[in-house]
Amino acid sequence: MKLYLDTANVKEIKEAASMGLLDGVTTNPSLVAKEGRSFREVLLEVCNLVDGPISAEVVSVEEDAMVKEGRDLAKIHKNIVVKCPLIPEGLKATRRLAAEGIRVNVTLCFSPTQALLAAKAGAWCVSPFIGRLDDISSDGMALIRQIVTIFRNYDFKTQVLVASVRHPQHVVEAALAGGHICTMPFTVFLQLFKHPLTDIGLKKFLGDWGAAGRQ
Ligand code: E4P
């Protein structure tokens, strides 16, 4: 499973990229707005830090405007994947952009029928938001399992990008369900490394080594 960061914060991306474990980045208008910087400038910087797919979302909601915006975003760097919302206009734009060879991440997916439509429109990936479903007492991970099964049944090439991840258990379950990509906040990425027994074990090894007078 590919691991992406869900952030527009360059400092976080730089740190994760330096570990050599980062496969890509997803951004959305809320995350970019939070940074208070030019969208284009942030995207260019991120593309130069991570040699992998970088999702950049259109903010238009009408087909022609989305296609234009998508083309402009794709021109910024070869790593850009254009993000279109899962609405009828968004899928019309997805079909056109995909026909031009532009990779599209269809975002704001909350149901298996939406995912099926995104795949049929030629999306490179679809982003089901599991945390937001859990937030309203729905089962986000059940949606991932349904989409993975549907895509496998019909051999769709569209990848399942597990989004709106809130904690490490979401990452584990996404991998067990066969999600192709999992995008997460930097805090969750750091939590993936942690286990108290690792810290206790390392402390003991180094303590024993030191006690034996080894350098
Ligand atoms: C995905 O691409 C979205 O940016 C994201 O995962 C949304 O997550 P949130 O529900 O934490 O805002």
Burial 166-187 (b: 16+ CB within 10 A, else e): bebebbebbeebebebbbbbbe
- Mean pLDDT over 63-69 rounds to 98
Mutate to test the pocket of ligand 1, among 164, 167, 186 (most ligand atoms within 8 A of CB): 164
Q: Tell me if 7 CB under 6 Å of ligand 1.
A: no
**Arithmetic mean of pLDDT over the chain:** 97
Residues belonging to the chain: 215
Q: How many angstroms from the chain centroid is the CA of residue 97?
A: 20
Give DSSP secondary structure letters for 92-123.
HHHHHHHHTT--EEEEEE-SHHHHHHHHHTT-
* Catalytic site positions: 83
Q: Where are the alpha helices (H) located in the chain, listed in sequence order?
A: 10-18, 29-35, 39-49, 63-76, 88-99, 112-120, 130-135, 140-153, 168-177, 186-191, 196-211
Measured in Å, residue 162 CA sits from the centre of ligand 1 at 9
In this predicted structure, the answer to whether residue 198 has a pLDDT above a threshold of 80 is: yes
Which pLDDT score, from 0 to 100, does residue 79 have?
97
Mutate to test the pocket of ligand 1, among 3, 7, 28, 83 (most ligand atoms within 8 A of CB): 28
Q: Is the pLDDT of residue 42 over 80?
A: yes
State which ligand 1 atom lies nearest to the alpha carbon of 105: 2
Q: Quick one: tokens of 167?
A: 């904690």
Average pLDDT of 180-208?
98
Q: Is residue 199 scored above 80 in pLDDT?
A: yes
Question: Is the predicted pLDDT of residue 215 greater than 90, yes or no?
Answer: no
* Predicted local distance difference test score (pLDDT) of residue 214: 86
2-211 domain in CATH 3.20.20.70?
Answer: yes
